[in-house]
């Protein structure tokens, strides 16, 4: 669900008041609230008084003492305005405000309190992971299993002497097993902070915690950043800090995430990774604001884009941040296989295709083999109770929960493969990294299989053969942009996020070597955080804007399985290549651009925009520019600067205008590409514009 954005005036009536213009002294409420409810809820209150970092970057004076004085005054007035108030966390560094428990019906009164700028719901954040994952025995681990780090060029960076040494990466997650043999050398005496249990031991949740399930997510993320043992992360000599903001079951709340961001900045982290999210597509949510100011303070913030794809507008906070680097997930190149099914003479299954598989060997093991198949409903754990699927094929219907979980449940029940049929018309998507070889069919072919079982024909054989190799592709689950209100392209870049092998805790000191294969944008983001560590070691004087631009400007374009270029709001600028980013001699900032919205009632509109060319080389370079929108739609006209000479180690602004005749354009958004060339190198900058009200 995407929460709606609701603006509330500090007047006497609030219920149902949405989308209104606010007066100068009004406070805003973001999210959804039921003002008739007397339930006690937790909210985040933002103050008009700027945070320490915000004031610094606006040329204003601010101190902790002054901010505390203002905050205490507002809190005192909140206590007068509302009943049964309980204050929790306070923020002052990159966010100005506090969290408070209050009756939902008292929020309108809270908004009237002088000094209150906004109120946000204290929403739940969860880890961005798809399925349960696959644990791997330490004896089965090989360096080749961490093939995603070399794929983006990390091994070439290591050969050049860049391993992340001297760079500190903060992991805001479920905690990290800092005793794991592959990670213990990345931590110093100070490990970070646990905001769930409020202590200095930010470990993962162990089994048996009465508050919820054990966790392994943060350790897996940290391993992708910097593991240095049986598995090597992207930046194996980087220093790690752990901030446990998600507790048992991998769940947490806004108030702890903001606190973790503040602490990481205060502790001097160079980079922070947030492989977590919610479904709020809003750039002005509290976590996004905190990340924007963390970036302003020089901390490279990297976030996962979310796992709610493949539809557009599915990116969630904090991936919606204006400044942080939001990351989509890709699948590494793989071999595509064809599949056929046979049950009995005269029954054909033309829709049968390979959906996904754990290894080629396991998939090919089904070729030409006749096996029994058993209908297992939706593939829930309960659907396998009382059914013998040991060594058999599980026939499962789509619906209710994730494909990967269905395959995992079948594997745990002893099945050796899955046939997964659709529950509606059409074809199921491909889902790489399934726990078992999985063949997909349409609903019609699934009904044929059910009819075969009814007739007593309970065996199936497969014909599986190699089709072709597929290059790096976007994961189907990866969330897409654009972002509401700012209309920005998201993600910014993409990185491997399917079947990523990394350390996990065993919660057993006698056997500390735990590993698992997981997938999600959670797994993609730490590739970028690790890459940023390599870039900063190589270019220690680069700003956060330069780090972000280097990753975006040098990214590789991605094409789908049919060779069609993915839209910008699917792949961002493309898949990162760390060595190219390290060696970039030209940087274009910002790395993507939105022209915003054009309203049809206004007739022809002209918007003036600019970007900056940064020539980092020791020689003068001459740049040319071109802007093209997909399909060259009538009604969009671009006027760019002439060729531009930029002196060595200098930056220069490039101006260009866009003229829109909305009467010639349909409502919606239009993606384009700004191409910058210096004669020998070409750089592409994603751009976008909107006609009419762009909200879905």
As annotated, the active-site residues are: 173, 217, 522
Q: Distance (Å, rounded) from C-alpha 624 to C-alpha 675?
A: 8
**What is the C-alpha separation between 379 and 381, in angstroms, rounded?**
7
* Residue owning tokens 């065996």: 459
CB atoms near residue 296 (< 10 Å): 16
Any alpha helices (H) in 160-216, and if so which ranges? none
Cα separation, 672 vs 479, in Å, equals: 20
Distance in angstroms between the alpha carbons of the first and the last residue of the chain: 13
SS (H, E, C) 595-647: EEEECHHHCEEEEEEEEEEEECCCCCEEEEEEEEECCCCCCEEEEECCCEEEC
Q: What is the DSSP string of 9-43?
A: -SSS--TT--SPPPPTT--EE-S---TT---EEEE
State whether the Cα torsion 258-260-263-265 is positive or negative. negative
Instruction: Say what the alpha-carbon torsion angle 615, 488, 486, 522 is, to the nearest 10 degrees.
Output: -110
Do 598 and 605 contact (CB within 8 A), yes or no? yes
3-state secondary structure of 241: strand
Judging by beta carbons within 10 Å of its beta carbon (0-12, 13-18, 19+), is residue 280 exposed, middle or buried?
Answer: buried
CA–CA separation, 588 and 653 (whole Å): 10
Rounded (10°) angle between helices 521-538 and 217-226: 30
* Euclidean distance between CA atoms 513 and 493, whole angstroms: 32
Segments of 64-123 assigned E as strands: 86-91, 97-103, 116-121
Which of 540, 571, 545 shows the shortest CA–CA distance to 558? 571
Contacts of 543 (CB under 8 A, 6+ apart): 298
User: What are the helix and strand counts (H, E) for the chain?
Assistant: 15, 35
Strand 168-173 relative to strand 271-274: parallel, antiparallel, unpaired? parallel
Residues 128 and 526: their CA atoms lie apart, in Å, by 12
Q: Please give the C-alpha separations between residue 167 and each of 181, 235, 236, 241, in angstroms, as whole numbers.
A: 20, 9, 11, 11
Nearest Cα neighbor of 638 from 693, 689, 681 is 689
Separation of alpha carbons 153 and 145, rounded Å: 15
């Amino acid at each position: 669900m995407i929460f709606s954005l609701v603006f509330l005036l500090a007047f006497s009536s609030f219920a149902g008041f949405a989308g209104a213009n606010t007066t100068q002294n009004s406070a805003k409420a973001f999210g959804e609230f039921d003002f008739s409810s007397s339930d006690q809820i937790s909210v985040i209150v933002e103050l008009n008084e700027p945070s320490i970092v915000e004031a610094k970057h606006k040329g204003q004076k601010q101190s902790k003492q002054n901010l505390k004085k203002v905050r205490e005054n507002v809190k005192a007035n909140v206590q007068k305005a509302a009943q049964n108030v309980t204050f929790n966390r306070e923020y002052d560094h990159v966010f100005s405000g506090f969290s408070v428990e209050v009756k939902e019906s008292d929020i309108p009164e809270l908004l009237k309190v002088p000094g209150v700028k906004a109120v946000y719901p204290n929403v739940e954040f969860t880890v961005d992971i798809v399925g349960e994952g696959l644990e791997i025995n330490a004896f089965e681990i090989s360096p080749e299993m961490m093939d995603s780090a070399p794929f983006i060029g990390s091994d070439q960076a290591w050969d050049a002497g860049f391993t992340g040494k001297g760079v500190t990466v903060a992991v805001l997650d479920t905690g990290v097993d800092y005793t794991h043999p592959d990670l213990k050398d990345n931590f110093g005496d100070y490990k970070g902070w646990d905001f769930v249990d409020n202590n200095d031991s930010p470990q993962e949740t162990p089994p048996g915690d009465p508050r919820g399930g054990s966790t392994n997510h943060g350790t897996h993320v940290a391993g992708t950043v910097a593991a240095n043992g049986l598995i090597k992360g992207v930046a194996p000599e980087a220093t790690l800090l752990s901030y446990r903001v998600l507790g048992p079951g991998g769940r947490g709340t806004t108030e702890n995430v903001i606190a973790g961001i503040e602490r990481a900045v205060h502790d001097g982290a160079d980079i922070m990774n947030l492989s977590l999210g919610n479904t709020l597509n809003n750039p002005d949510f509290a976590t996004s604001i905190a990340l924007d100011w963390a970036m302003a303070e020089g901390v490279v913030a990297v976030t996962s884009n979310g796992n709610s794809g493949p539809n557009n507008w599915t990116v969630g906070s904090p991936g919606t941040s204006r400044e942080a680097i939001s990351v989509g997930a890709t699948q590494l190149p793989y071999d595509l296989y064809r599949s056929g099914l046979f049950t009995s003479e005269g029954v054909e299954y033309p829709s049968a295709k390979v959906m996904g598989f754990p290894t080629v060997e396991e998939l090919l093991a089904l070729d030409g083999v006749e096996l029994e198949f058993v209908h297992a409903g939706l593939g829930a754990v309960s659907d396998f109770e009382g059914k013998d699927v040991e060594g058999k094929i599980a026939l499962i219907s789509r619906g209710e929960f994730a494909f990967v979980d269905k395959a995992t449940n079948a594997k745990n029940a002893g099945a050796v493969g899955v046939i997964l049929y659709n529950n509606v018309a059409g074809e199921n998507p491909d889902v790489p990294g399934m726990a078992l070889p999985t063949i997909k069919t349409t609903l019609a072919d699934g009904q044929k299989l059910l009819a075969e079982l009814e007739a007593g024909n309970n065996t199936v054989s497969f014909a599986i053969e190699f089709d072709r190799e597929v290059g790096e592709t976007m994961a189907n689950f990866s969330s897409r942009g654009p972002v509401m209100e700012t209309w920005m392209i998201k993600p910014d870049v993409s990185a491997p996020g399917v079947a990523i092998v990394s350390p996990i805790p065993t919660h057993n000191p006698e056997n500390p070597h735990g590993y698992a294969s997981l997938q999600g944008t959670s797994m993609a983001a730490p590739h970028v955080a690790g890459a940023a560590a390599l870039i900063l070691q190589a270019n220690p004087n680069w700003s956060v804007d330069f780090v972000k631009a280097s990753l975006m400007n040098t990214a590789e374009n991605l094409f789908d399985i049919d060779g069609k270029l993915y839209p910008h709001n699917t792949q961002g600028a493309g898949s990162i290549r760390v060595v190219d980013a390290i060696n970039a001699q030209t940087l274009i900032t910002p790395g993507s651009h939105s022209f915003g919205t054009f309203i049809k009632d206004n007739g022809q509109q002209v918007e003036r925009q600019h970007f900056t060319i940064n020539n980092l080389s020791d020689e003068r370079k001459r740049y040319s520019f071109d802007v093209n929108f997909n399909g060259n739609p009538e009604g969009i006209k671009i006027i760019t600067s002439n060729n531009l000479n930029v002196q060595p180690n200098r930056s220069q602004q490039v101006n260009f205008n866009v003229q829109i005749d909305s009467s010639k354009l349909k409502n919606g958004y239009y993606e384009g590409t700004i191409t910058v060339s210096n004669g020998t190198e070409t750089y592409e900058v994603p751009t976008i514009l909107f006609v009419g009200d762009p909200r879905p």
